[in-house]
Chains A and B, each alone.
Chain A
Amino acid sequence: MLPVPADHSLPERWRTEIATRPGCGKPVLAWLELDLDARLRFASGLVLITASELLACTPEASWQSWPLRGTLALRHTDHAGVGCLELLDTNGRIAHWRFTLSQNLAALRVISEFERQTEALRTGQAPKTPDEEICATCKAPLPPGEDECPICARELHEAPSTWTLFRLWRFAKPYRWQLVAGFALMTGATAATLVPPYLTMPLMDKVLIPYQNGKPIDTRMEIMLLAGLFGAAMLSWLLGWAKTYILALVSERISADLRTTTYEHLIKLSLEYFGGKRTGDLMARIGSESDRISVFLSLHALDFITDVLMIAMTTAILFSINHWLAIVTLLPLPLIMWMIHTVRDRLRTGFEKIDRVWGEVTNILADTIPGIRVVKAFAQEKRETQRFREANAHNLAVNDRINKTWSLFSPTVTLLTEIGLLVVWAFGIWQVSHNDITVGVLVAFLAYIGRFYTRLDSMSRIVSVTQKAAAGAKRIFDILDHVSSVPEPVKPVPLPSVQGSIQMRDIGFRYGNRSVIRNLSLDIQPGEMIGLVGHSGSGKSTLVNLICRFYDVSEGAIMIDGVDIRSVAIADFRRNIGLVLQEPFLFFGTIAENIAYGKPDATRAEIIAAARAAHAHEFILRLPQGYDSIVGERGQGLSGGERQRVSIARALLIDPRILIMDEATSAVDTETEKEIQRALDNLVQGRTTIAIAHRLSTLRKADRLVVMDRGQIVEVGNHDQLMAAEGAYWRLYQAQLRNAEQNLLEGGE
């Protein structure tokens, strides 16, 4: 028997390849398609695993196989987009394979299968059944049998399709009756605009031409016809107004709903999502993309539908009057459409280019304005101006090129229209001369056709605007479709009053596929103060992020008062945490508002009490408007220490059971630090506290010090115990002591 591929279906090519090879009769458990050879050239190969062997077919060698043994190990590394899978035993490396990270999921699956099988060989027990598979990127559970997360995969590979626009229906649905009314009005208005050319027929044939032939004007008929023209104009005006008003109203509401819904969803997404996106991009998606969709719906889509209605109705009318003339009239239509379309196409590329070049210009602004202090400090104003000038010149050049085509466009459409008219004139005159049609019919045709051709121009525009709107809609739905990697529990466990004990059980965490926290366990008692120390990059902030549930652990669990934090509603849980960060962020608003950020209904007395406790009260009073002073955009106008104390007051006000300080005093000088330290001492009392500090002296009050190194806890104990142990903490301490002495010496000279 031959190996049979398991649920993840193997590409056809490999299936036949395997079929021709003498197999071991076991099903393929997992496989990895190699796309690189050993010298990192693109080539294809395969690694697969069955219950008894690991097989590989590389571009260099044909099939090789290794029976599974307990002593074998697979090592997985990656660098610069290239993954490497190495097969090792205790004596050395047996084989290795390389692949681009697009195959990474498959590689991870091979490894987990491999580990499952070799584990079984070592222990002699049957292989464990695998856990539910989760997406390596967003950590959402995968649908059974799927190897790619539907969310991440879509975000990656799908080019925007016009169909995306139909998904907007979800937002249009609440307004469906208004939409129906709008469309009815639109049909009416369009029909009304088609009445006047029709009336020119009797006007010509029954009034004017008989008059020329010597008959008196039939005044009654004339008045009736003119009244008809006036009535049609009024009707079309009224209906057109009502339709535009209703539909504009609806489309504005649809886009407002879209904007709010997207923002509401976005702000609930995890920090992981925000870490991977640029602020400008997200702002553009919610701001201008939704606006673009609104303009598309209220202008372009409407115009387009009107045009289609108009053309359909006109065609029907023309055919009902005289089908031969109608055929001749419509004959050049496809040609004109095609020509307009080609020119448009060229223009569209040009306009897209202008968009991008424009982005370049704004980028320079976005770069230099926030960095203005650096620009000035290094006296580089001239260079930045030059950079701007160059971007502008580029912009000009692109615009000039486009304008050449653009200026040709309108006259060309006019020309085509004239030619169309010419054809109708010629054929019409010929038909009149043969008495096939009356002069009135010809005039009516000419009147119709004028409206007709100008419409073609605006219709051809629809292609590019639709594509743009579809791209915008796609970018918005990307956000809406993203599932938070920190999901709300389906049935949240209530968390009434928190004691403040925290247990971490064998937790592990990866950013992407880079392991940052490994096998970490720690129990924190209610009211205990933990000092977290370690080199920069040892994972302290990451641990704090996990405790705050900004990210979810990859392995293990974090419990608060014995309850897994993933089973508690996120807002319920965070309410109990006060967080003070190294870089305090103040929102635009008054100081009082900023302090009350976590508890908007706080009374003035509460706010002032919190500020007092945070040692912020006095400096606030020294500001011209006291608590009503506006601070904004990163709290300009306040010093780092002052901002920090405002943020401490903010944490104090919500009276959290758990307090977390991540390098709260690292960015300020020693004097300010002392002041902040006094504020913090107020904050710490009676709360479970986790403090990260660079200066070890700041952690004097800690009940226990936890030393971290490369994502693991290496030491726990109080200052004296750890000093006595002469371990990692002792080394950190000695290094700081030496630094301090050095500073003293240098300062003394």
Chain B
Amino acid sequence: MSSINFSLERNAFGQLVLTDADGVRHEGITPVRANPISAPLEGIALMSTDGHEVAWIELLAGLPAELRALIEEELGAREFMPEIKRLNKVSSFATPSTWDVETDRGTASFVLKGEEDIRRLPGGILLIADAHGIQFMIRKLADLDRHSRKLLDRFL
């Protein structure tokens, strides 16, 4: 499905509205990445409010600029997986522990409920879920500085 047979726009309520090939309008479309971590730019589904897939986009790069901008804007407002660049401080090495971190989205602090909330994904990625279900990511352990690695090591 390489050709685009739908149109997408944003309405006054800030929702995406998709009009499909048959002229049916779907309000409140949400774009969802199929592999948000391993392949964020491939495979994006446009889902309706009742959770059905309305359209499938193979490659984000293959879209017309305007459409792509709309989808990326919506994704940007929904996706939240701060990438940890540095660990400043952890309150204790026993959980629950409060972590002060620098992320690509600014400085933050969160509560780690248990060591089991740090999960390893294939490819050496670490996903850290905080007490409220926000996922923090560490893309590559080796890229962190010594201080951060030393702190993190106590939890791994």
User: Hey, which bits of chain A sit against chain B, CB under 8 A?
Assistant: 35-36, 38-43, 79-82, 84, 86, 88, 91-93, 96, 98, 100-102, 104, 156-160, 278, 281, 349, 352-353, 356, 467, 471, 710
Residues on B with C-beta less than 8 A from A471 are: 94
- Chain A residues with CB under 8 A of B156: 353, 356
For A160, give the chain B residue with the smallest CB separation. Answer: B94
Select one of A38, A81, A157 contacting B135, CB under 8 A: A81
Q: Could you say which of A40, A101, A278 contacts B76, with CB atoms under 8 Å apart?
A: A40
Stretch at the interface among B10-18, B37-45, B63-71, B140-148: B10-18
What's the minimum C-beta distance from A347 to chain B, rounded to whole angstroms? 13
CB contact under 8 A between A156 and B111, given known A92-B12, A352-B154: yes
In the bound complex, CA of A42 to CA of B79 (Å) = 13
The SS class assigned to the B binding surface is loop
In the bound assembly, the distance between CA atoms of A86 and B103 in angstroms comes to: 26
B105 to chain A, nearest CB (A): 4
Contact A93-B96, Cβ < 8 Å, known A82-B80, A100-B134, A156-B131: no
Task: Kindly state the separation between the CA atoms of A280 and B123 in the bound complex, as whole angstroms.
Answer: 27
Q: Is the CB of B94 within 8 A of A159?
A: yes
Q: List 11 A-B contacts (CB under 8 A).
A: A80-B79, A81-B80, A92-B12, A92-B13, A102-B131, A156-B96, A156-B131, A159-B92, A159-B97, A349-B93, A352-B154
B96 near A81: Cβ-Cβ < 8 Å? no
Beyond A42-B106, A93-B13, A349-B154, is A81–B76 a contact (Cβ under 8 Å)? no
Query: Which of B12, B96, B132 sits near A102, CB closer than 8 Å?
Result: B132
Instruction: Determine if A157 and B134 form an interchain contact, defined as CB atoms under 8 angstroms apart.
Output: no
Q: Is the CB of A82 within 8 A of B134?
A: yes
Residues in B with CB closer than 8 Å to A159 are: 91-92, 94-98
In the complex the two chains form, is B14's CB within 8 Å of A80's CB?
no
Chain B residues near A100 (CB-CB < 8 A): 80, 132, 134
What number of B residues sit within 8 Å (CB to CB) of A?
38
Chain B residue at minimum C-beta to C-beta distance from A512: B133
When distances are taken between beta carbons in the complex, the residues of chain B under 8 Å from A42 are 82, 103, 105-108
Query: Which residue of A43, A80, A88 contacts B80 across the interface (Cβ within 8 Å)?
Result: A80
Q: Is the CB of A157 within 8 A of B115?
A: no
Nearest B-chain residue to A92, judged by Cβ: B12
The distance in angstroms between the C-alpha atoms of A614 and B108, with both chains bound, is: 60
Binding site for A on B (CB under 8 A): 11-14, 50, 76-82, 91-98, 103, 105-108, 110-111, 113, 115-116, 130-135, 154, 156
**Cβ of A92 and Cβ of B78 under 8 Å apart?**
no
How many Å lie between the Cα of A459 and that of B19 in the bound state? 74
Contact at A41–B106, with CB atoms within 8 Å?
yes
The answer for the CA separation of A41 and B103 in the assembled complex, in Å, is 9
Task: Report the separation of the CA atoms of residues A100 and B78 in the bound assembly, to the nearest whole angstrom.
Answer: 12
Closest Cβ–Cβ distance, residue A383 to chain B (whole Å): 14
What are the residues of chain B within 8 A of A80 when measuring CB–CB? Answer: 78-81, 133-135
Contacts of A278 in B (CB 8 A): 116
Q: Are B14 and A82 in contact (CB under 8 A)?
A: no
What are the residues of chain A within 8 A of B113 when measuring CB–CB? 156
Q: How far is the CB of A390 from chain B (nearest CB, A)?
A: 12
**Across the interface, which residues of B come within 8 angstroms of A710, CB to CB?**
50
* Most chain B beta carbons < 10 A, residue from A102, A104, A158: A102
Chain A residue, CB-CB nearest to B114: A281
User: What is the bound-complex CA distance between A450 and B146, given in angstroms?
Assistant: 42
CB neighbours (8 Å) of B116 from chain A are 278, 281
On chain A, the residues within 8 Å of B13 by CB distance are 88, 92-93
Given A42-B107, A92-B11, is A356 in contact with B115 using a C-beta cutoff of 8 Å? yes
Contacts of B111 in A (CB 8 A): 156-157
The answer to whether A81 touches B92, judged by C-beta atoms less than 8 angstroms apart, is: no
Q: Which of A93, A101, A160, A281 contacts B133 (CB 8 A)?
A: A101
Report, nearest first, the 4 A-B pairs whose CB atoms are least far apart.
A92-B12, A81-B134, A42-B106, A93-B14
Most chain B C-beta atoms within 10 Å of own C-beta, residue among A40, A91, A281: A40
List of B residues within 8 angstroms of A82 by Cβ = 78, 80, 134
Give Cα distance in the complex from A96 to B35, angstroms. Answer: 28
If A40-B105, A41-B106, A82-B78 touch, does A157 touch B132 (CB 8 Å cutoff)? Answer: no
State in angstroms the CA–CA spacing of A91 and B98 once bound together: 43
Given A39-B76, A80-B80, A156-B113: A96 and B14 interface contact (C-beta under 8 Å): yes
